[in-house]
Amino acid sequence: MFEVLTAFLFCSEQLDTTARMSSEMECAKVVVIGSGFAGLAAASKLVEAGFKDVLVLEAKERLGGRVHTTKPFTENVIEVGANWIHGQKGNPLFKIAKEENLLSEGPWACKNMCRPGSVSPRDYFFREDGKLVSKALVDQVCARFSKLTEKAFDDEIGGKYRKLTLGAYLDGTFGNTSEDGQQVYEWCKRLECTDEACSSLYEISASQLSNYTELEGGFFNTLGPGGYRAVLDVLLRDLPQESIHCNAVVKTIEWDLVKESDCDEENHPVQIICENGQRFEADHVIVTVSLGALKEKARTMFKPPLPEKKLSAIENLGFGLVDKIFLFFEKSFWPEDCAGVQLVWKEGPEDKNVYDALLEGDAWKQTWFKKITGFDTVARHPTALCGWITGREAMYMETLQDREITDICVGLLRASTGWSVPDVSKTLISRWGSDPQVRGSYTFVPDGVDGVKEHNALASPLPPKDRSRGRMNLQVLFAGEATHANFYTTTHGAYMSGVREAERLIRYYSD
Ligand SMILES: Cc1cc2nc3c(=O)[nH]c(=O)nc-3n(C[C@H](O)[C@H](O)[C@H](O)COP(=O)(O)OP(=O)(O)OC[C@H]3O[C@@H](n4cnc5c(N)ncnc54)[C@H](O)[C@@H]3O)c2cc1C
Cis amide bond preceding 463, omega within 30: yes
Give the Cα separation of 271 and 283 in Å (integer). Answer: 9
Mutation probe of ligand 1 site: the residue of 191, 289, 321 with most atoms within 8 A of C-beta: 289
Q: How much distance in Å is there from the Cα of 393 to the middle of ligand 1?
A: 21
Question: So what's the pLDDT on residue 289?
Answer: 98
Give the Cα separation of 267 and 39 in Å (integer). Answer: 25
Residue of 297, 112, 62 lying closest to 223 (CA atoms): 112
Question: So what's the pLDDT on residue 110?
Answer: 62
Any atom of ligand 1 within 6 Å of the Cβ of 397: no
Which of ligand 1's atoms lies nearest the C-alpha of 493?
19
- 281 strand-pairing partners: 271
In this chain, the answer to whether the domains covering 28-66+229-316+445-510 and 111-213+322-429 adopt an identical fold is: no
Residue 57 near residue 39, CB atoms below 8 Å: no
Contacts of 14 (CB under 8 A, 6+ apart): none
With residue 39 as reference, give the H or E element that holds it. helix 37-49
Any atom of ligand 1 within 6 Å of the Cβ of 116: no
Which pTM was predicted?
Answer: 0.94
Residue 138 near residue 121, CB atoms below 8 Å: no
In eight-state DSSP terms, residue 188 is H
In eight-state DSSP terms, residue 446 is B
Domain locations along the chain: 28-66+229-316+445-510, 111-213+322-429
Domain 111-213+322-429 has CATH 3.90.660.10: yes
Which of ligand 1's atoms lies nearest the C-alpha of 492?
11
Question: So what's the pLDDT on residue 13?
Answer: 57
Question: So what's the pLDDT on residue 108?
Answer: 63
Half-sphere CA count of 329, side-chain side, radius 13 A: 19
Any atom of ligand 1 within 6 Å of the Cβ of 67: yes
**pLDDT values of the chain reduced to their tens digit, one per residue, 511 residues:** 445 555 544 445 555 656 666 788 888 999 999 999 999 999 999 999 999 999 999 999 999 999 999 999 999 999 999 999 999 999 999 999 999 999 988 666 665 555 666 666 689 999 999 999 999 999 999 999 999 999 999 999 988 888 899 999 999 999 999 999 999 999 999 999 999 999 999 999 999 999 999 999 888 899 999 999 999 999 999 899 999 999 999 999 999 997 655 555 568 999 999 999 999 999 999 999 999 999 999 999 999 999 999 999 999 999 999 999 999 999 999 998 899 999 999 999 999 999 999 999 999 999 999 999 999 999 899 999 999 999 999 999 999 999 999 999 999 999 999 999 999 999 999 999 999 999 999 999 999 999 999 999 999 999 987 666 665 689 999 999 999 999 999 999 999 999 999 999 999 998 7
Share of the chain above pLDDT 90, in %: 83
Question: So what's the pLDDT on residue 66?
Answer: 98
- 320 strand-pairing partners: 442
Residue 488 near residue 464, CB atoms below 8 Å: no
Question: So what's the pLDDT on residue 262?
Answer: 53
Residue of 423, 333, 326, 246 lying closest to 72 (CA atoms): 326
Any atom of ligand 1 within 6 Å of the Cβ of 340: no
Question: So what's the pLDDT on residue 218?
Answer: 83
Give the Cα separation of 370 and 200 in Å (integer). Answer: 13
As a whole number, the mean pLDDT across the chain is 92
Q: How much distance in Å is there from the Cα of 8 to the middle of ligand 1?
A: 51
- Fold annotation for 28-66+229-316+445-510: FAD/NAD(P)-binding domain (3.50.50)
- Taking CA atoms, 243 is separated from 28, 44, 68, 335, in Å, by 14, 10, 21, 50
Give the Cα separation of 460 and 9 in Å (integer). Answer: 39
Q: Which residue minimizes the CA distance to atom 52 of ligand 1? A: 81
Give the Cα separation of 185 and 140 in Å (integer). Answer: 10
Residue 198 near residue 357, CB atoms below 8 Å: no
